[in-house]
Amino acid sequence: MPYMPYIRTPDNSVKFYSAAAEIGGMEEEQKKLWEQIENKDRQLKEQGEKKDQLYEELLKQKDEMTKLQIKNNNLQQELKKRNTEYLRVTGSLHIRSVCEEFEISIAILASKNYPREQKWKMKS
């Protein structure tokens, strides 16, 4: 039995051919294989471009998030500052009002207690 050359096809089957009869078929199969390889290369390039676009979008989103976070932190610090200023003002006003009420109440208590003290002094 003479030697029969063979090739493996993409679906992993074995195909026997005679050199004279299958040269045209081999060229077609080679073209198909090259087309498959080129298609795969194109797909990989497109996927790479898509990945690059997704990466750029992701970077933009991260930049926006960091900008928003910085802005949020600045607003929180400003709010804390205003709250402390408000508490200072209202606290001083509250202390002032308490002191004024206390001064008034001392005078009232003194005026009410004075006659009682006099009564006790008179009785004793």
DSSP assignments along 51-91, one per residue: HHHHHHHHHHHHHHHHHHHHHHHHHHHHHHHHHHHHHHHHH
What's the chain's average pLDDT? 74
pTM confidence score: 0.39
Of 24-28, 55-59, 102-106, 115-119, the poorest mean pLDDT is in 115-119
Segments making up each domain of the chain, as ranges:
6-123
User: Mind listing the pLDDT tens digit for each residue in 24-65?
Assistant: 556 677 778 888 888 888 888 888 888 888 888 888 999 999
Helix extents (H) in 1-22: none
CA dihedral 84, 89, 91, 92 (to 10 degrees): 140
Query: Could you give the CA distance from residue 81 to residue 69 in angstroms, rounded to a whole number?
Result: 18
